[in-house]
Structure 1
């Protein structure tokens, strides 16, 4: 068996299960008597929008906002690109274009919101009294804090004019149908892209409690804003949300199930640990390594050969001078130290094709990774201390770079354990 080719096929199967056209084909809303306005938001938004145009088979209007390099051609919709994971001025202009697209609607009109991961950063909209620089500083602080995505989004949606359902407010009295490609553990649509069209029950006071409990240091101007009642996001019971529809059309769960089925078809049993694993990436990597090692040595809790699959979104708490890498390479570096000498091969990659801020989706690791690093003259522990996992796997030629995939259902981890 070519182990890496096998794992790559499972990754590609998982991505294909979240294909935009297939995800949307059976969930199109009823045609309105008035206008159809589409707002597509996130790293896979352009592909979603192009698929929607093909399936709708009628002219639409609206705006697509996606990450630089992730654009896809659309016939009717205006496609804009902006920065991720830290917002920029292009994102600020794109947010204003989204608001302009939904102005002047009536009850006869329909807004279709195509929402996927990445929208939180791509749509900066600082509230009155704050600036783009304040929102950039907020994002940097949250990314460095190691807080899970649910906590980050709970905070961000109270420091915005578009998140937490505020975009849906602006669409009234038109009906809003939100179709979500979920990249968050648990598939709560209010968490994807910080829920621009989906309100959340997490109150401003709850967000402040999260900040205090985790000791997150935020800019003074942002904290001053959060202390004001005006910062509160809309209540889910507000009348502006009545009649709106929300549906999750693709998720990590569905993609993992597709990968497991493909593995079985290729003759290797598969198990899914969870589609919602969170925690510090290197620590989660160590836990996965312990499970795989137990299988390799004692055939428990599973019998080799087996593929162990998991998804979710780990986090990385950054030090003062971090090196290169994202959460998937950090996961693998934590894992590689614990599987040395074992018949285990692993692929961990982000389904959107980009791991953090680098150009790779993730990397491969196996029972020889640490030995190969030493053979190249490196001390593997140095990469852990420097928070530099990209450089570790780049040094041994194990970086995985499929390029942007056009979808985003969070991280994909496949661990092949041989007898």
Structure 2
């Protein structure tokens, strides 16, 4: 395929990604979810990669006075006037996250039944809201987060642990203002859009248990250390009673999700004369295994024209996982690993196939890229400069592989987050 054809294909894929991100922008999503103003104060709190953008959008839409504080990832801030924006580390927490968590609790102090709390929550809040329990250090929680991220545990399992290891998660922010009505507005980054999983549910009821948290750690061979082990053995690690009166005046709404984004991308693909095959927004599993399944679909389309004929695009979302196998030195997030595994799985069947895999927040894991791009000649180009795709995949070094090819997708922070976006464009041969 010519360079011009490759360029057109990558431009189309980027347009689909941009459409998906635009569909999840808080300024559009918030407009239809505003409650009536209260008699008393309106206080905004929030956490997540989209929290600053949500706060800015809420300020612009809210008809009365308000105040508040939100925390987002370093570099994901947005200009606001009345709501303070704090920044902290993600995916491994830092001291800024501890200070920000305390600031959110301080903001809730003294509120009563005539006031209203608006909680703006999005993916990433689990790391940003870090408040170590008594006897537990920040270093303990940092080690726990690193272990979870490399364990291959899915988001539900990871957040079950996180809810019981931070005093800011699992409904505890709601419990800090038991008499005050609260509306949580959520940009969902988890399959199934359960508000209790997004940012580990700091403002909604938690139906998981500390026993389940201990089971996740055991199942994945994670030693939490003596301090966290002792904490998880204590009733103090229990979340607030999900049936308790504290949640009687608390509501939650999902205002943006991966489903909305995939729908928008599918509409754009159709308008470009490309048939969309939407696999869904809840795909989970190891990135490399999910890539093999997608490669199988490509082959079916190529050989039999089913379940859809080319020209077409396979679209999918959700949250895959990566189990670290390569030891030290490997770099790259789950989307770049998907892209690399897809190139390997397609092998000689990659003719006429281009793909994009990226995180809609603009950051794939802890690197500076959103994801990566794959073309028909990815493996050949790599071999030509001495890069082995199989070796890089074995070392979980997808970042190094695509950096060498110049095929990292770098967008910068998008200030929203509905998780993974994958698009595989298949042209007629």
User: Within 2, Cα distance between the matches of 1:242 and 1:416?
Assistant: 48
Partner of 1:274: 280
Do the aligned residues in 2 keep the contact of 1:270 with 1:306 (CA within 8 Å)? yes
The runs of 5 or more residues in structure 2 that have no matched partner are none
Partner of 1:338: 345
The answer as to 2:148 corresponding to 1:139 is: no
The answer as to 2:250 corresponding to 1:219 is: no
Q: Which moved more, 1:134-143 or 1:333-342?
A: 333-342
The answer as to 2:363 corresponding to 1:354 is: yes
1:166-245 alignment runs, 5 A limit:
166-245=172-251
The answer as to 2:43 corresponding to 1:34 is: no
Of the candidates 73, 77, 95, which is equivalent to residue 71 of structure 1?
Answer: 77
User: Within 1, Cα distance between the matches of 2:27 and 2:243?
Assistant: 32
User: Within 1, Cα distance between the matches of 2:102 and 2:214?
Assistant: 28
Q: How far off its partner does 1:189 sit? A: 0.5
Of the candidates 364, 368, 377, which is equivalent to residue 386 of structure 2?
Answer: 377
Of the candidates 403, 407, 426, which is equivalent to residue 417 of structure 1?
Answer: 426
Residue 153 of structure 2: SS of its match in structure 1? coil
User: Within 2, Cα distance between the matches of 1:298 and 1:218?
Assistant: 50
Do the aligned residues in 1 keep the contact of 2:343 with 2:379 (CA within 8 Å)? yes
Residue 321 of structure 2: SS of its match in structure 1? coil
1:258-337 alignment runs, 5 A limit:
258-319=264-325, 320-337=327-344
Runs of 4+ that moved beyond 4 A = none
User: Within 2, Cα distance between the matches of 1:223 and 1:185?
Assistant: 29
1:188-236 Cα distance to aligned partner (Å, 9 max, x none): 0100000000122111222222222333332232122111222111221
Question: How many residue pairs get matched?
Answer: 419
Q: How far off its partner does 1:300 sit? A: 2.0
Partner of 1:398: 407
1:13-28 alignment runs, 5 A limit:
13-28=19-34
Residue 63 of structure 1: SS of its match in structure 2? strand
User: Within 2, Cα distance between the matches of 1:333 and 1:87?
Assistant: 28
Partner of 2:255: 249
User: Within 1, Cα distance between the matches of 2:379 and 2:54?
Assistant: 40
Summarize the Cα distance change of 1:167–1:110 in structure 2 as closer, same or farther, 3 Å threshold.
same
Q: How far off its partner does 1:322 sit? A: 4.2
Residue 275 of structure 1: SS of its match in structure 2? coil
User: Within 1, Cα distance between the matches of 2:362 and 2:215?
Assistant: 34
Partner of 1:5: 11
User: Within 2, Cα distance between the matches of 1:21 and 1:386?
Assistant: 40
Partner of 1:388: 397
The runs of 5 or more residues in structure 1 that have no matched partner are none
Partner of 1:49: 55
CA RMSD of aligned residues (A): 1.1
1:351-372 Cα distance to aligned partner (Å, 9 max, x none): 0000011111001012211111
Residue 257 of structure 1: SS of its match in structure 2? helix
User: Within 1, Cα distance between the matches of 2:145 and 2:136?
Assistant: 14
Do the aligned residues in 2 keep the contact of 1:158 with 1:226 (CA within 8 Å)? yes
User: Within 2, Cα distance between the matches of 1:50 and 1:34?
Assistant: 21
State TM-score, norm by structure 2: 0.96
User: Within 2, Cα distance between the matches of 1:322 and 1:32?
Assistant: 53
User: Within 2, Cα distance between the matches of 1:130 and 1:310?
Assistant: 39
Residue 195 of structure 2: SS of its match in structure 1? coil
1:141-175 Cα distance to aligned partner (Å, 9 max, x none): 11111100100000110111110000000022111
User: Within 2, Cα distance between the matches of 1:33 and 1:361?
Assistant: 43
1:288-322 Cα distance to aligned partner (Å, 9 max, x none): 11111221222122211111100011111123314
Do the aligned residues in 2 keep the contact of 1:105 with 1:172 (CA within 8 Å)? no
1:43-74 Cα distance to aligned partner (Å, 9 max, x none): 11110000000000322111010111111111
Residue 246 of structure 1: SS of its match in structure 2? strand
Do the aligned residues in 1 keep the contact of 2:90 with 2:128 (CA within 8 Å)? yes
1:12-70 Cα distance to aligned partner (Å, 9 max, x none): 00001011111100000111000000002111111000000000032211101011111
Residue 73 of structure 1: SS of its match in structure 2? coil
User: Within 2, Cα distance between the matches of 1:398 and 1:233?
Assistant: 44
User: Within 2, Cα distance between the matches of 1:292 and 1:215?
Assistant: 36
